[in-house]
């Protein structure tokens, strides 16, 4: 680890970085030509190039959001971002063929091990593109498509064209426009009718280079009556200058299908994480976002579900941990378009050492949607006086038959709890770690075991040195 990196790293365990051995690296800064070059390099169909260029212009014209953390947003230097970086000539199917330095990185992150133990498939993205990709044979035989997005476009252009930008239009917001203009990598998944993918499939995103911009694009289509659980993890080295991760995720759950999308984002504290995630649920379909935000400098992310079909359901469980210098601006959006649709939103946040967490929620019920139910619970835990937590819930309910519940709480760790645990032999730090893990438990228990264990360890680590 270089000196400046290790200074900034603190106890962030993924803060190491590897030498940058790029095979193709674009100059910093964004122009229409850069956008066209990316598309050409990837040999994309014309329509994709066009949509990229349109999105680019929208991005340039669109002002920065005037809400959230404006001063942090304004400090993003778009001219100092590398928009495309290729570090391996191809996506390997065999772990041994992945270039050594990249392989070492993912080895340290435990990727191949996880694949053997509990995954149905895995994709590992390094900078702009996938470097490794595999799927279990039995899934492939059942017609499940699990590819990195670039390969998806190459191999299934019609399917991609049919759904791309239908859930998140490029003009949705400034960052969805940016992503659409320069997207690279991400996952493309199609699950055929009635197929249940029992083991989760995982994507791991790693930024290694300085000032890197990673623009992941993911599209998941679960056909009628099918189900899939997608898990993603993210880390980056700690640099003194900032990196940008701006992803767009689109989920389509057809009639009776179920998609669960779980994220544990543990970016280093110099990454801007500006992500648009949205799913459409058709008749009796279920879309679930399980979203954990532990790292990054600024996260702005509000996983959304459009309940388009009757009887569909949205579940959004999110946690945010904001430590020193971090702002987690997270939340959830649900749009009840159809009758008898239901949604559950649980948001938990912890702020420590001056960190800031915000819950921003939007709940909409259309005039014609009868008999909808929604429950929103927001709990904030403040570990000290310097930290901050805000809640901005918005409800636009145009149908009086809707049954809505909203609960919000802000709490501190009580002296009684600490005393009790310490009287059972836990040191003060251990006691804090236990309480904090307990606070996140409704989220953690939804994760695959390996992620849950890792997350608990991470939080315990964060509690070290918590006592002044």
Partner 1 sequence: MEHIGETMSDLILDIRNLHVSVEGKEIIKGINLTINSGEIHAIMGRNGSGKSTLAHVLMGHPAYEITKGEISFLGKPIEDYDVFERARAGMFLSFQYPPSIPGVQVGNFLKKSVNNVRDENVKAREFRKELNSAMEKLEMDRSFLSRYVNDGFSGGEKKRLEMLQMMLLKPSLALLDETDSGLDIDALRLVAKGINETAENIGVLLITHYQRLLDLVKPDFVHAMIDGKFVKSGGAELALELESKGYDWLEA
186: left (phi over 0), alpha (psi -120 to 50) or beta: left
Say how many residues make up the chain. 468
List the x/- string, 423-462, binding to partner 1 by CB under 8 A.
Answer: xxxxxx-xx--xx-xxxxxx--------------------
Distance in Å, CB of 422 to partner 1, minimum: 4
Helix (H, G, I), strand (E, B) or coil at 58: helix
Chain centre distance of CA 440: 17
Minimum Å distance from CB 47 to partner 1? 49
| Interaction pattern, residues 164-203, with partner 1; x per rule: CB under 8 A | ----------------------------------------
Which residue number, 110 or 442, has a Cβ lying nearer to partner 1? Answer: 442
- For partner 1, the closer of residues 222 and 264 by Cβ is 264
Q: Number of residues in contact with partner 1, rule: CB under 8 A?
A: 24
- Facing residues of 267 across strands? none
Residues between 366 and 425 that touch partner 1 (CB under 8 A): 414-417, 419-425
- Quick one: tokens of 432? 């804090």
Closer by beta carbon to partner 1, 166 or else 427: 427
> What's the token pair of residue 94?
């065999």
Closer CB to partner 1, residue 337 or residue 381? 381
Best CA proximity match to 269, nearest among 14, 3, 2, 1: 14
Contact 258, 222 (CB under 8 A): yes
Nearer to partner 1, 312 or 456 (CB): 456
Does residue 468 interact with partner 1 by CB under 8 A? no
Q: From the CB of 438, what's the least distance to partner 1, in Å? A: 3
What is the three-class DSSP state of 431? helix
Whole-angstrom Cα distance, residue 334 to residue 151? Answer: 31
Question: Scanning residues 287 to 316, which ones bind partner 1 (CB under 8 A)?
Answer: none
Rounded Cα–Cα distance for residues 217 and 180 (Å): 8
**48 vs 41: CA distance, rounded Å:** 13
Restricting to residues 121-150, name those near partner 1 by CB under 8 A.
none
Q: How far is the CB of 327 from partner 1 (least distance, A)?
A: 25
CB of 430 to partner 1, least distance (A): 8
Q: Which two tokens stand for residue 74?
A: 């304004």
Shortest distance in whole angstroms from residue 416 CB to partner 1:
4
Q: State in angstroms the smallest separation of the CB of 299 from partner 1.
A: 23
DSSP for residue 269: T
**Between residues 321 and 439, which has the closer beta carbon with respect to partner 1?**
439
Count of other CB atoms within 10 angstroms of residue 109 = 17
* Least gap, CB of 318 to partner 1 (angstroms): 16
Specify the residue, 96 or 424, whose C-beta has the smaller distance to partner 1.
424
User: Which is closer to partner 1, CB of 100 or CB of 407?
Assistant: 407
Nearer to partner 1, 132 or 321 (CB): 321
Closest CA to 447 of 15, 190, 118: 118
Distances 30 to 35, 38, 80, 243 between C-alpha atoms, Å: 8, 11, 9, 15
Question: How far is it, in rounded angstroms, from Cα 29 to Cα 102?
Answer: 25
- Residues near partner 1 (CB under 8 A) are 414-417, 419-428, 430-431, 434-435, 437-442
């Amino acid at each position: 680890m270089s000196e400046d990196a290790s200074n900034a790293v603190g106890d962030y365990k993924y803060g190491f970085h590897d030498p940058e051995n790029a095979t193709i690296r674009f100059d910093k800064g964004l122009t229409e030509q850069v956008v066209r070059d990316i598309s050409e390099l990837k040999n994309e169909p014309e329509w994709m190039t066009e949509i990229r260029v349109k999105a680019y212009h929208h991005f340039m014209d669109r002002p920065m959001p005037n809400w959230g953390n404006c001063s942090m947003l304004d400090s993003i230097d778009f001219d100092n971002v590398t928009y495309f970086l290729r570090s391996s000539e191809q996506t390997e199917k065999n772990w041994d063929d992945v270039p050594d330095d990249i392989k070492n990185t993912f080895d340290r992150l435990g990727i191949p091990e996880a694949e053997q133990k509990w995954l149905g498939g895995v994709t590992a993205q390094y900078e702009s593109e996938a470097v490794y990709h595999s799927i279990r044979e039995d899934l492939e035989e059942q017609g499940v498509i699990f590819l990195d997005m670039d390969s998806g476009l190459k191999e299934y252009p019609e399917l991609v064209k049919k759904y791309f930008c239908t859930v998140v239009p490029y003009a949705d917001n400034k960052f969805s426009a940016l992503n659409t203009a320069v997207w690279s990598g991400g996952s493309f998944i199609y699950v055929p009718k009635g197929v249940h993918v029992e083991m989760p499939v995982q994507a791991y995103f790693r930024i290694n280079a300085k000032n890197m911009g990673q623009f992941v694009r993911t599209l998941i289509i679960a056909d009628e009556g099918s189900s899939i659980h997608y898990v993603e993890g993210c880390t980056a080295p700690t640099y003194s200058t900032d990196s940008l991760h701006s992803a767009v995720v689109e989920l389509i759950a057809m009639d009776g299908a179920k998609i669960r999308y779980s994220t544990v984002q543990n970016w280093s504290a110099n990454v801007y994480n500006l992500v648009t995630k949205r799913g459409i649920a058709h008749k009796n379909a279920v879309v679930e976002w399980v979203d954990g935000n532990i790292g990054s400098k600024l996260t702005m992310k509000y996983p959304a579900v459009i309940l388009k079909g009757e009887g569909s359901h949205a579940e959004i469980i999110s946690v945010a941990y904001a430590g020193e210098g971090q702002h987690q601006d997270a939340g959830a959006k649900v749009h009840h378009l159809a009758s008898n649709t239901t949604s559950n939103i649980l948001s938990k946040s912890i702020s420590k050492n001056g960190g800031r967490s915000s819950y921003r929620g939007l709940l909409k019920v259309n005039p014609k949607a009868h008999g909808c139910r929604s429950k929103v619970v927001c709990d904030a835990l403040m570990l000290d006086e310097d930290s901050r937590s805000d809640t901005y819930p918005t409800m636009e309910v145009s149908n009086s038959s809707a049954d809505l519940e909203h609960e919000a709480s802000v709490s501190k760790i009580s002296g009684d709890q600490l005393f009790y645990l310490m009287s059972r032999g836990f040191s003060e730090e251990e006691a804090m770690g236990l309480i904090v893990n307990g606070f996140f438990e409704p989220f953690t228990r939804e994760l695959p075991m390996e992620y849950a264990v890792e997350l608990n360890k991470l939080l315990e680590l964060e509690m070290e040195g918590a006592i002044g």
